[in-house]
Amino acid sequence: MNLSPRSIVLGASGATVVAAVVFGLVLLGSPAEERERRIDDRRVTDLHGIAAAADLYRSRHGRLPASLDDLAAEPGFRISTRDPTSSEMYGYRALDDGRYEVCATFGTDSGGPTGTTGSPPIVQRSCQGCHRSPVATSPVDGPVAAHLELQDLWAHGSGRQCFQMQAR
């Protein structure tokens, strides 16, 4: 059986397309995995909004909110308090006068300090100085130094994860 040059080119092109699709799925993950990563990104964005609102609430009232309901009821705050898929309320609790904790259940491992896969999305980058504990110190003093020390504040594993925050 003689193969024409056209048959060879079509066969090679088809094999290349199949190889590219397989390589893309291996490199990027399946569409279901990508969807789960995007949902986790949304959870991180929601937790970041809750943290920012809690900080603002504290500056307005001199104390942290007692619950997410108190925070959501505050005029001018537009925060998501529920998980985008399960509709369960995110976790929040004040630990003391200046520290609080926000929690969510994640479907994937973001990588970074807690995980091992890839790098976390940019929304997970945060200023270490903005939410550091009172005992943490910077090798360089001043407000600029705090912003130079970026960390993956929202890096998470899969499952229920809580993040302790220091109110600003």
Kindly report, residue by residue over 137-168, the tens digit of the pLDDT.
333 344 443 433 444 789 999 999 999 999 98
> 150 to each of 25, 48, 100, 122, how far by Cα in Å?
31, 15, 21, 11
pLDDT value for 20: 80
For residues 166 and 96, give the distance between their C-alpha atoms in angstroms, rounded to a whole number.
Answer: 10
C-alpha of 3 from chain center: 53
Question: What tokens were used for 1?
Answer: 């059986």
Q: Which of 44, 36, 50 is nearest to 85 (CA)?
A: 36
| Arithmetic mean of pLDDT, 121-150 | 38
Q: What integer best gives the mean pLDDT of the chain?
A: 78
Q: Which of 88, 85, 3 is nearest to 41 (CA)?
A: 85
pTM of the model: 0.65
Interior CA angle at 102 toward 96 and 103, to 5°?
135
Kindly report, residue by residue over 47-89, the tens digit of the pLDDT.
999 999 999 999 999 999 999 999 999 988 889 999 999 999 9
